[in-house]
Amino acid sequence: MPRRSLWIVCVVAVLHGLFFIWYQHTDWNTQWTDQDGYRRLGQVLAATGKFTRFPDAPTFVPEVLRTPLYPMFVAVLYRLFGVHQLSVALMQTVVFAVICLMVYATARRVASERVAVGAAAATALFPAIPYFGALVMTEVLTTLLFTVSMWLALSALTSRGMTRFAWLGVLLGLTTLSRPVFVLFPFALAAVGLIALPVLRVRTRPRVAQWVVMVAAFALTMAPWFGYNYVTLGRFTLSPAGGVGRGLWEGSWQATWSGRTQNTLTHLADDVDDRAALDRLVADVAAREHLDAAPMLEYVHQWEDIRLIWTSPTDPRERAIARVKADEEYRRVGLDNIRRDAPAHLAKRLARGLFILWAGEIPFRYSDINALSPAIIRACWAVQAVIFLIALAGGYALYRSGRAAEALFLLAPIVYISAVHFPLLTEARQSLPAQPTLLLLAAVGAAWLTGHSFALEPQVHEREHL
């Protein structure tokens, strides 16, 4: 029965992925401009082996926005199947099915067969993952790497050896090379093991030496990339211009207006170079929305002024270096924006920022989103908000059932992602790597709230503690 159920889950996942490939293909070359950078890096890597967008430049132009793992994934597919988006989308559909299987395997560490199959099925039906699987973007690969990392973390809980912790460090390193925001997660996980578990008096817990091995393996996995950045740009950094500066600046403005209004202002700032014409158009937006024009004008002016720092240079290498300087200016201006009214900024982050992060996904074609009715958008938000609350209940249920360590490990990604993104621009896709873990907890929570048993069968529990 489990094997048959998992086959059904995989078929559902693949069909779900194929649907979004069909649904999204008309937007492949017109929306989600982040794809352009990954396509270019993957194409150059496949053709030349160089990690740059400008292979023909007289001096090497380092990549300052993207980390290397996902472009390498794309490059391998381009070498095997040609430079086509369909091959990437199809492979990511396979990756999506593997994610569902990993959710099942992870859930079996803490819950019954029935709950584990339910968690895998919920993942197969969760539209945000196959939505991004149809795009040349890092979300699905990062989600797989992080889901495998969480499975390995739970399996390492009862291990007395070092091997699983070493592999956990490597997997978390690869996850970080796909999505830099996870660079501090190994330390957060170690803090759970070294501080939270002793406080809760969890008897069976990893030793200090095991956490040291994990962190060392993580550091070794990251070392080549840090070395690359030091050699090419003279600094030890994850992604020089892909740092927190721009995210901090955009976060300082997020929720000042509705998402559609801010999107309109952003497009105006990006498309209209003449300052006087831009100001007139912004004034028209303010009048139409019955809002104050002054903050809107400040927003578009900041957008244009900082963007000029790195769009003005024509030489590719000079532009790459200028992009790093622009990120520093984004950070300075963003902090100034926050300081002007810190209480209001804090309220916006609590009321809107975290909500968008965990419940803001709208799995409709990007070119159609602005035409959706508010009722449909709110329904999407409501479903995700309910899943999030049920997942918190699942964490509590695990804790109450005597599996405090597992509960804390599974809740750690939610706390970590919320904390890291709190001061920055938040998008729902930023939480996507942790969504399978969230769905696992939601499956446990649903069983608990409906009065069904979610506990491990006795024989499974005994095997884990042999």
pLDDT at residue 160 tops 60: yes
Q: Is the pLDDT of residue 237 over 80?
A: no
Percent of the chain with pLDDT over 70: 97
Indicate whether 269 pLDDT > 80: yes
- Residue 292 is encoded by which pair of tokens? 């104050």
Give the pLDDT band (50/70/90) at residue 460.
very low
pLDDT number for residue 90: 97
* CA–CA separation, 55 and 348 (whole Å): 43
What is the end-to-end Cα distance of the chain in Å, rounded?
26
Residue 62 pLDDT = 85
Position 241 scores a pLDDT of 64
DSSP assignment of 189-230 equals HHHIIIIIHHHTT-SS---HHHHHHHHHHHHHHHHHHHHHHH
Q: What average pLDDT does the segment 405-430 reach?
A: 93
Q: Is pLDDT above 70 for 457?
A: no
Q: Which long-range contacts (CB under 8 A, 24 or more apart) does 449-452 make?
A: 449/390, 449/393, 452/114
pLDDT given at position 240: 63
For residue 426 the two structure tokens come to: 């938040």
Model confidence at 321, in pLDDT bands (50, 70, 90)?
confident
Sort 465 into a burial class: Cβ within 10 Å, 0-12 / 13-18 / 19+: exposed
pTM (predicted TM-score):
0.92
> pLDDT class for 224, splitting at 50, 70, 90?
very high
Predicted confidence at residue 458, as pLDDT, reads 54
Averaged pLDDT for residues 316-329: 86
Neighbours of 262 (CB within 10 A): 17
The confidence score (pLDDT) of residue 205 equals 86
In the prediction, which pLDDT does 204 show? 81
- Rounded mean pLDDT of 55-81? 91
For residue range 94-113, list pLDDT tens digits in order. Answer: 999 999 999 999 999 999 99
Averaged pLDDT, 311-319: 86
Residue range 426-430: average pLDDT? 92
- Residue 462 pLDDT grade (very low, low, confident, very high; cuts 50, 70, 90): very low
Q: Which residue has the higher pLDDT, 465 or 410?
A: 410
> Per-residue pLDDT tens for 182-211?
999 999 999 999 999 998 888 888 999 999
How far is residue 248 from each of residues 19, 184, 199, 316, 413, measured CA to CA in Å?
35, 18, 34, 25, 21
Indicate whether 233 pLDDT > 80. no
**For residue 20, pLDDT beyond 80:** yes
Residue 463 has pLDDT above 50, yes or no: no
Instruction: Compute the mean pLDDT over every residue in the chain, rounded to the nearest whole number.
Output: 91
pLDDT bucket at 459, cuts 50 / 70 / 90: very low
Query: Looking at residues 344-350, what average pLDDT do you find?
Result: 86
Q: What is the model's pLDDT at position 101?
A: 97
Domain segments of the chain: what residues?
2-240+368-464, 244-340
How far apart are the C-alpha atoms of 68 and 221, rounded to whole Å?
12
- DSSP letters of 34-60? HHHHHHHHHHHHHHHS--SS-TTSSS-
- Residues in contact with 165: Cβ distance below 8 Å, sequence separation at least 6, in sequence order: 156, 159, 206, 210, 211, 213, 214, 217
CA distance to 37, 102, 318, per residue, from 52 (Å): 10, 33, 14
Give the other-Cβ count within 10 Å of 50's Cβ: 14
